[in-house]
Chain A
Amino acid sequence: MPVNPSSPTAMSVSLISCHSCHQLSKVAPSDKTRAVFCPRCGARLHSRKPNSIARTWALVIAAFIFYIPANVLPITTVISLGKAQSDTIMSGVIYFVKSGSWPIALVIFVASIFVPLMKLFLLTFLLISVQRKSQWRPKDRTRLYRITEAVGRWSMTDIYVVTILVALVKLGSLATIEAGPGAVFFAGVVIITIYAAMSFDPRLIWDAQESNNER
């Protein structure tokens, strides 16, 4: 049940909600310039995540850059009887398609190629919409943000596949699997996009609605 429809948000009545324990604290105007901490749990208080837009942009751009070597460089190298064969993420997907393992090909394609790209495009869209103070469907944009937050972790799948392959296939000269440099960049993409989603503040979507109502 909303408290008061005419002054709806915590920020509009000088309250800050603790990001950790959700306790509301009253802030004096003089507190704007110095660090304030939650009286209950001790977490640093911020009305909005600090420098949310700039940080998220920086992380999104970094992740876009890492995405290229992650897909071009090999993530695994199979050394079998003196012959070395390198695989990228995409050639792994193609291998599973050719060998008839459609569901597995789909899992890798979605987790390693589709999800990171979708996340980056969604965050880019959210950033631009917030910077333009867009009024377009704030509820749906908040939903899109929730998706970017929830799906990011599943991209780690390929890193774990490499870990298991490396552990199991150690048969000396017969067959050995080594992790390739692409895996390092790919792990980078996954971690950077998780941080990017964390640093974006969905409340900025709603702040634009309020500033419009006041006008």
Chain B
Amino acid sequence: MGRCTKSIIACHECDLLHQRQSLPVGGTARCVRCGAALYRHRQNSLDRVLALTVAGLILFIIANIYPFLTFRLEAQIQQTNLMTGIIELYNQGMWIIAGVVLITTIVMPLLQLSGMLFILVPIKLQRRPWKLALLFRTVRSFRPWGMTEVFMIGILVAVVKLVKMASIIPGTALYAFMILIFVLAASAVALDPHIVWKKLD
């Protein structure tokens, strides 16, 4: 096979070799044996991901500085932001859980977004990004650990649980966080990682 290996791809789930073919816009190539998604073709992939990344970073900042949820029981008002629960868990001695929540809802989305910004801005400026291989490899390996969408379900359940005993007022940060989930999902769908890897060739 020797020199033509660039046009061949092995299925990452069953190892079957496939010849790369040009796909229609929006198409995804699947393994003929096990059905795993092999590669895809996205229109303006990097432009879209860059736009979504910038939007995501702005939403991330809003989600972290504005009030998240406010709990009101008669005269008592408890206003929280995204970090409040994490700090409170830490104060209760539950530092493991505090760490898990911090990493999965704040650190990983931030690293994901800022990592993509560091990769995509230089590419747009026709420059080679700094430490591209290491950076993109790291960003890709962080993917399973960003769990913003799961956090949203957690908020929903907690609010239903409390809504009978007190009033819960959603804050600006909650709305920003909800939009952030869709932005992150859209950016994951828009990315064609092969384009970035090809910059290393």
Contact = CB atoms under 8 A, between A and B. Distances in A.
Contacts, number: 207
A124 interface: no
Contacts of B155: 160, 164
B154 interface: yes
Contacts of A8: 16-17, 33
Contact of B150 (A139, A156, A166, A171): A156
Interface stretch (B57-65, B118-126, B139-147): B139-147
Contact of A99 (B5, B17, B164): B164
Contacts of B89: 162-163, 166, 179
A193 to B, nearest CB: 12
B33 A139 contact: yes
Contact of A161 (B12, B19, B104, B158): B158
A101 B156 CA distance: 12
A18 B179 CA distance: 34
5 contacts: A40-B200, A143-B35, A158-B154, A178-B92, A203-B14
Contacts of A99: 164
Given A42-B133, A161-B158, A153 B147 contact: yes
A116 B73 CA distance: 36
A65 B71 CA distance: 37
B197 A169 contact: no
B192 to A, nearest CB: 12
A22 B10 CA distance: 7
Contacts of A108: 157
Contacts of B97: 159, 162-163, 179, 183-184, 187
Given A24-B8, A41-B136, A139-B35, A157 B150 contact: yes
Interface in A162-193: 162-171, 174-175, 178-179, 183-184, 187, 191
Given A10-B10, A17-B15, A42-B133, A169 B71 contact: yes
Interface in B44-92: 69, 71, 73, 76, 78, 80, 84-86, 88-89, 92
Interface of A: 1-4, 8-11, 13, 15, 17, 19-26, 40-43, 96, 99, 101, 104, 107-108, 111, 138-139, 142-143, 145-146, 153-154, 156-171, 174-175, 178-179, 183-184, 187, 191, 194, 198, 202-203, 205-207
A176 to B, nearest CB: 10
Given A22-B197, A179-B97, A183-B97, A15 B1 contact: yes
Nearest to A80: B165
A160 to B, nearest CB: 3
Contacts of A15: 1, 5, 10, 17
A24 B164 contact: no
B25 interface: no
A10 B1 CA distance: 11
B111 interface: no
A206 B57 CA distance: 42
